[in-house]
Amino acid sequence: MHSIIGISAMSLSALPQRWGASLVVVIGMAGVVAVMISVLAMAQGLERTFANAGRADRVIVLRADDNSGMSSAITREQVPTVLAAPGFARDRDGKPLATVQKFMTSVLPDRKTGAESNILLRGVGDKAWSVWPEVRIIEGRRFAYGKRELIVGRAAQEQFRGLDVGADVEMVNGPWTVVGVFATGGSVLESELWGDAEMVMAGYSISGQFSSVVGLLESDAAFQTLKAALTGTPTLNHTIKRETEFYAEQAGGLARLVRTLGYVVAAIMALGALFAAVNTLYAAVKVRALEIATLRAIGFGALPVVTSVLLESLVLCLAGAVLGSALAYGFFNGYTISTLNAASFSQVAFAFHVSLGLVVQGILWSCAIGLLGGLLPALRAARLPVAEALRAS
């Protein structure tokens, strides 16, 4: 054991002499880990932003043949039937905690570039504040019903120009006034503008139909009750979906794409890093040939030599992983970007989320690559013909 520690310490202390090649291993490994963590953090951030918007006890009433929610529709006549269905939670007056909603998109200039992008305006009814208790006003006040007033999500305000409280915003159906800013704890809702559903409908909707109804369930079992009641009503062609499921579907495609990209790219880079490690350690064994042969000649076994090579490989790769994780965390944790949510055809902002799990994953990858990369050179070191190596110089 002493000999293992001693020889490993000796080989590691000689590392600075071979810094050029060793640095390539560290940089290569840092690249692998940084890229993998950042891409996966992007996928994770995207999923979290959507997942945060959904609650398992909140359901959306959608037209049965629409699975995205944007082209769903419900007529004014159908709404009372839906609201009267059993299963919704009720307030003290016995009114269902459910509301119609109407979606509309508009364009606004980006705060940084001035380029116009789509933004989602969600019109909601008067029970909205109970249906979405997580909506907190952080500046200004709630919008008033019957007026063209808006509250803007925190992320939307950061992304777009001209959404300050008191400002007038030109929307599809005329000017609206911003009266407040809201936060929901980092969900996709924060990329939206909210106003009175009736006012959103006015002067906009050609068909005169709302988009959907959202409501809270009174209990988990109520999901089946409500679903059966709605699908069993002949005047409706609607069904319900839990929000958790609804938002997971919206995030799913893009997050999957980004995550696959992350793994594919990390795997390709890992091959490169593995090669760099193998190459560097072969060279290191070559340089240390005399030293190794001397050690073997004076009686050290193969194990300490093998261990010292493997350890050198591990140390280099771990250093790379730590550097890579630090880079990914420093540059990207909490970094907010936006993209098009294809389901609502509007911008959604989300923050990268570098979790501890991702860092651990990166370090595990680097250990695997380090061990694998050190294996062949270590075996060569162990098999080094002692007499020949001693004679060589």
Q: Which residues of the chain form contacts with other proteins (CB under 8 A)?
A: 21, 24, 27-28, 31-32, 34-35, 38-39, 42, 65-67, 71, 104-107, 113, 115-118, 170-172, 204, 206-207, 258, 261, 265, 268-269, 271-273, 275-276, 278-279, 282-283, 337-340, 345, 347, 393
Using the minimum distance from each CB to other proteins, give the nearer residue, 86 or 330. Answer: 330
**How far apart are CB 356 and other proteins at their closest, in Å?**
22
Residue (of 214, 217, 213, 240) closest to 88 by Cα position: 217
CA atoms of 262 and 250, how far apart (whole Å): 20
DSSP letters for 163-198: -STT-EEEETTEEEEEEEEEE-SS-GGGGEEEEEHH
Using the minimum distance from each CB to other proteins, give the nearer residue, 307 or 341. Answer: 341
Phi and psi at 195, nearest 5°, equal -155, -175
**How far apart are CB 267 and other proteins at their closest, in Å?**
10
Written as one letter, the residue type at 85 is A
**How far apart are CB 136 and other proteins at their closest, in Å?**
26
**How far apart are CB 289 and other proteins at their closest, in Å?**
10
Using the minimum distance from each CB to other proteins, give the nearer residue, 129 or 345. Answer: 345
Q: Report the SS3 class of residue 70.
A: coil
**How far apart are CB 256 and other proteins at their closest, in Å?**
12
**How far apart are CB 271 and other proteins at their closest, in Å?**
7
Residue (of 210, 207, 208) closest to 63 by Cα position: 210
Q: Report the SS3 class of residue 99.
A: strand
Using the minimum distance from each CB to other proteins, give the nearer residue, 97 or 348. Answer: 348
Using the minimum distance from each CB to other proteins, give the nearer residue, 283 or 318. Answer: 283
CA atoms of 137 and 157, how far apart (whole Å): 13
Written as one letter, the residue type at 167 is A
Using the minimum distance from each CB to other proteins, give the nearer residue, 202 or 268. Answer: 268
Using the minimum distance from each CB to other proteins, give the nearer residue, 97 or 378. Answer: 378
Going from the C-alpha of 113 to that of each of 65, 292, 312, the distances in angstroms are 39, 61, 48
What is the CA angle 49-55-58, rounded to 5? 135
**How far apart are CB 62 and other proteins at their closest, in Å?**
13
341 membership: H or E segment, kind and range = strand 336-341
**How far apart are CB 130 and other proteins at their closest, in Å?**
30
CA atoms of 19 and 228, how far apart (whole Å): 70
Classify the phi-psi angles of 337: left when phi > 0, otherwise alpha if psi is within -120 to 50, otherwise beta: beta
CA atoms of 256 and 261, how far apart (whole Å): 8
Using the minimum distance from each CB to other proteins, give the nearer residue, 225 or 336. Answer: 336
